[in-house]
Structure 1
């Protein structure tokens, strides 16, 4: 029993020690966490400051490079201006003789100043340029007109050639038509001759019918109201007269035979 109590007491003591150590570990862990967070913030701030310093250094380097470039460009421009100034000085020195010449011209001319001579020269040059441009414009217009004339001439020549070809074709067709018409003209002449003969024959027949009709009228001793040119009615009247005459003749013959038989 005492041994069990001893083990229980030892276990409790050991648990107290473990609990104390566990508490110390938690405390140290919390301190370590706080330290890590603080260290992280410090590192972030250091990184931020380092980045800002790098950016600042980069900007300073860019500004320095830009300034050096501007200085170099300014030196080049200054050198170019010096060269230009030297050239202008050389030209002034070179053309100084013309100044003396213009001064002499002013003395012996109607101009009072050198500037008037320069203005007059510029005016003359401008007029000369305008004349050259006008002449060039006239030349271009003349060339354009020549091109248009050549084009128009070519078009008209092509049209004339086309019309000539069409005229040749029409002439061929006309000749062919003339050749085709000749037999028909001959046939038409034959038809006209035949019609003339038939018309003459018809006129003769109508005249004969009219004569017979007049004879019938005289035999009948009656005025028959039939137009002179109505051959059909005249012919019908003649046929009717002949038929009546035949009937009368037959009747006379029949009666003569009857009378002869009676006498016998």
Structure 2
């Protein structure tokens, strides 16, 4: 504050200047505080943005690791599936010969396809297994009853009689089961023998057909020879050969008949002349 002012107006002006100076100083202090606060806030925002970027980068890194793990898992699954596929292809190749044999057997039997024949054979095997199990169970029951009879032989005559009856029934059942099993065995053996005979007959037919085809093949002009295993096509070629030469055969037969007629007439005339 300014003291002992000579003039009232001058003192008032000085007070106003002091007030303005104080206000200016206060504003400068406030501006400095505001500037400091702004710097602090900018620093806070930068730190927060850096934390967010770090969190985002960590999340992206985890996602990449998860994707790599999933890719590795899928690669292993794919390798396993390819291995299974190759194993199945090898099994199909190994079983191809059995399938061809079954197809040939089906052609010689009353069945329409391989599946029906396989089902019939599986049914026979099922019955055979069923009868074997029944026979084993019956033998086990017989042994058990024999042991029981030995234990109760002297003490329970009536029970022994009942067990004897059961034993007789079981023996009858065993004989019946055995007879059925033998019957199925004979049927199965007959099927095998029939299949073998028909397979042999089929082979002979194929060889005869091949011989006929080779005999006619030399006289027929063809662009391409028939496969030696294609019996049906060979038969078709032989049939075509016969049809093509049927007219020639008929003409030859007619000429032969005329020649025979003239010969017989000549013989009759000759005989009449000598008589």
Q: TM-score, normalised by structure 2?
A: 0.37
Query: Greater CA radius of gyration, 1 or 2?
Result: 1
> Using CA pairs below 8 Å that are at least 6 residues apart, which structure has the higher relative contact order?
2
Q: Would you tell me which structure has more helix in proportion to its own residues?
A: 1
